[in-house]
Structure 1
Amino acid sequence: MLNNKSKYTQLIKTEAKRLGFLSCGISRAEFLEEEAPRLESWLNKNMHGEMRYMENHFDKRLDPTLLVEGSKSVVSLLLNYYPNQEQTANSYKLSKYAYGKDYHFVIKDKLKLLLTFIQEEIGEVYGRAFVDSAPVLDKAWAAKSGLGWIGKHSNLLTQKVGSFYFIAELIIDLELDYDTPVTDHCGTCTACIDACPTEAITEPYVVDGSKCISYFTIELKDNLPTEMKGKFNDWMFGCDICQDVCPWNRFSKSHNEPLFNAHPDILSMTKKDWDEITEDTFKKVFKASAVKRTKYSGLKRNIEFLKD
């Protein structure tokens, strides 16, 4: 007979699947000992560039019990965003995760439903939902709970579906059965390191965030550095190069979340269309999109930088 812990664990995983999550793994809410020196070293080397918020809440990033009082478990979830259609070849490129509705809203809604389900089925459970919006090391937690391993490009990888998915967490004060990490299957492959045009992957498993195309096109508010001219490979928002070249992404399958479907204009617009984009078109195409983060002026800046 199942004990309560196993029963509750099974309940949560079954409901996560019903809500459309790709997979669900659970780990004990405790201090991330292995991550602490890595994060400290990364920050000391200034690999976060202008992302000063990465320096804040160092302790909370490593210890979920400081984020959620009395927390016992970190429930990690993956949600697929791999598109069934991609942009036209003659286009400036958007990272695939930004094709549809802003993932923060889509996932937060699903997490709220999952938390409500837990409270209704199990009882008084306190918890908080996190989608990339608080100091939580989501890739570390996903790896700890056996959902994949962190690849040489520092993204979470799985053998079955590659890496095109979002990671989110519920941190709750309920003890559950805990999963164990999986082994690393990058082997001797260096495809991601070799393909990065700005040499942002400085060594296996270490990405200098301040050299990444995603950083330049989204996070950096100043002028783009002239030494990067000609190195962006037509990426105007984000970059998927290290994921596109990864052999494990041959196994990516299209998502089945209608809210992640691309606005038709994104798929059909050519470089000429993007060159001439107006603020009105920007607002229409990216109405509820993550691209809004860079604003019209930011996207225009990126497009101008890509021109010869």
Structure 2
Amino acid sequence: MPLSQPPDLHEVAAAVRAAAIDEGFSACGFAPAVDSQGFTELVEWIEAGYAAEMGYFANRLDAYRHPAGVLPGARAVIVLAFPYPAANPASNEELPDGGVHGRVARYSWSGLDYHDVIHPKLKRICKLIRGLRPESHARGIVDTAPLMEREVAQLAGLGWRGKNTLLLNPVMGSYFFLACVLVDIELPADTPFEPDHCGTCTACLDACPTNAFVGPHVLDASKCISFLTIESRELIPEPMRAGIGDWVFGCDVCQEVCPWNRKPTRRAMAAEGMRDARQMAPTQTVRGRMELLRLFSLDDESFRKQFRDTAMWRTRRRGLLRNAAVVLGNVGDVDCVETLMIGLRDSESIVRAACLWAIQKLLVHADSNEARTIQEALARFRLQETDPIVLAEFD
């Protein structure tokens, strides 16, 4: 009996597209593995200091030159889009009575860490490819490897890079995750997405609460609310705190104002986003809102139990409490001071410093007796404090 021939590369590509649909991806495109055209811009962005604390860009800089820095011998990149819910966030009238609520970015609404949702899908697609072409190697990634994902996605025909630096698709908008599968076989490439449909619109640039955009397509991460509330491990700089507003985890402002995210077809497509995710835990968020005061009662173990498998684990307890304190300072009232006083006894200095700032912000809403009581309590805390970060807030 003659041996059967392995499927040709077009048949492999067709099988991958079908599998991508079965896995819940809303788009799939193929790009050649080539030198990054945006590498020089990346170097300039890092040298300008716009990467802030994200030293991993500079530490892995050479790997960004070519997809082979992620998979040796890479010849093609399969780019996949996985949608997440884009319904309007809950209004204050829809929230449970009591407490103060902060907004969280849409991508975290599912209650799951999206890496845990998407990685198994990529592994199954890699397994499919190796099964069809046993000589091949494949690696799936979700925003943790040194790859110019948005540039590759444009090469794969999935959309264009908007002025807010995010990938925009004329049907899906931008409320989706990008994932990639790198392979060392030369799959047929799709037509790159050439048009830029942003035109003269600057809605995203104008709406940013912290003026994080240096210009179109250039983001200063040190001013970005998403960076400050998720990636940063430091105390949020004082000039940025008011701009945080009520965002306790991430920010969607530059996406919310984008006309491409307001199209009815986009909202309908996103209704089933993260379809594999479990129902949101009411102790975490209620359609984009998180109750903040309760966070200050969580120790490390209780925080781990509630957030270990969620996107919010990225901030760790200290980061989320830091953020909550800043939001309370921005939108809370004097009744929140009692909870913030608990934060002044926290073991983490950035939590104590953020709580101190918030208390002093809320003092303006206190009557004379309340203000005197609060000031006396702060004076006692001041005598016990030794950390320079917190002392700087006192002074």
- Residue equivalent to 2:282: 264
Deviation per residue, 1:91-116 (Å, 9 max, x gap): 20111111221011111110000011
Q: 1:299 aligns with which of 320, 324, 333?
A: 320
Worse-superposed segment, 206-215 or 81-90: 81-90
Distance 1:120 1:112 in 2: 12
Tell me how far 1:222 sits from its aligned partner. Answer: 1.4
Q: 2:311 aligns with which of 279, 282, 290?
A: 290
> Which protein, 1 or 2, shows the higher relative CO under an 8 Å CA cutoff with sep ≥ 6?
1
Worse-superposed segment, 97-106 or 263-272: 263-272
Distance 2:290 2:57 in 1: 37
Q: Contact conserved, 2:86 with 2:175, CA < 8 A, in 1?
A: no
RMSD between superposed Cα atoms in Å: 2.1
Distance 1:241 1:173 in 2: 39
Tell me how far 1:67 sits from its aligned partner. Answer: 2.3
Shift in alpha-carbon separation, 1:268–1:126, aligned structure 2, 3 A:
closer
Structure 2 unaligned segments of length 5 or more: list them.
Answer: 1-6, 96-100, 330-395
- Residue equivalent to 1:147: 158
Shift in alpha-carbon separation, 1:270–1:97, aligned structure 2, 3 A:
closer
Runs of 4+ in 1 over 4 A off after TM superposition: 269-272
Q: 1:18 aligns with which of 17, 22, 25?
A: 22
Q: Does 1:52 align with 2:63?
A: no
SS in 2 for 1:298: helix
Q: 2:70 aligns with which of 67, 71, 75?
A: 67
Tell me how far 1:224 sits from its aligned partner. Answer: 1.0
After the TM superposition, which residues 99-118 of structure 1 pair with which residues of structure 2 at under 5 Å, given as runs? 99=109, 100-118=111-129
Letter in 2 for 1:193: L
Letter in 1 for 2:103: K
- Residue equivalent to 1:239: 251
Q: Does 1:174 align with 2:185?
A: yes
Larger Rg: 2
After the TM superposition, which residues 152-171 of structure 1 pair with which residues of structure 2 at under 5 Å, given as runs? 152-171=163-182
Shift in alpha-carbon separation, 1:188–1:274, aligned structure 2, 3 A:
same
Q: 1:27 aligns with which of 28, 31, 34?
A: 31
Q: Contact conserved, 1:81 with 1:260, CA < 8 A, in 2?
A: no
Q: Contact conserved, 1:88 with 1:270, CA < 8 A, in 2?
A: no
Q: Contact conserved, 2:89 with 2:287, CA < 8 A, in 1?
A: no
SS in 2 for 1:259: coil
Distance 2:54 2:310 in 1: 21
Structure ranking higher in helix proportion: 2
Distance 1:265 1:158 in 2: 33
Distance 1:126 1:21 in 2: 22
Q: Does 1:132 align with 2:135?
A: no
- Residue equivalent to 1:121: 132
Tell me how far 1:85 sits from its aligned partner. Answer: 7.3
Distance 1:104 1:140 in 2: 21
Number of equivalences: 305
- Residue equivalent to 1:221: 233
Tell me how far 1:260 sits from its aligned partner. Answer: 6.2
Distance 1:155 1:37 in 2: 18
Tell me how far 1:215 sits from its aligned partner. Answer: 0.9
- Residue equivalent to 2:261: 249
Q: Does 1:230 align with 2:248?
A: no
Distance 2:304 2:288 in 1: 18
- Residue equivalent to 2:207: 195
Tell me how far 1:285 sits from its aligned partner. Answer: 3.6
Distance 1:164 1:268 in 2: 19
Distance 2:68 2:284 in 1: 41
Distance 1:184 1:5 in 2: 31
Distance 1:178 1:200 in 2: 35
Shift in alpha-carbon separation, 1:169–1:58, aligned structure 2, 3 A:
same
Structure 1 unaligned segments of length 5 or more: list them.
Answer: none
Letter in 2 for 1:94: V
Distance 1:185 1:167 in 2: 20
When normalised by structure 2's length, the TM-score is 0.73
Tell me how far 1:204 sits from its aligned partner. Answer: 0.8
Letter in 1 for 2:275: E
Q: Contact conserved, 2:102 with 2:246, CA < 8 A, in 1?
A: yes
Distance 1:79 1:271 in 2: 23
Q: Does 1:184 align with 2:203?
A: no
Tell me how far 1:284 sits from its aligned partner. Answer: 4.2
Tell me how far 1:83 sits from its aligned partner. Answer: 4.8
Tell me how far 1:279 sits from its aligned partner. Answer: 1.8
When normalised by structure 1's length, the TM-score is 0.93
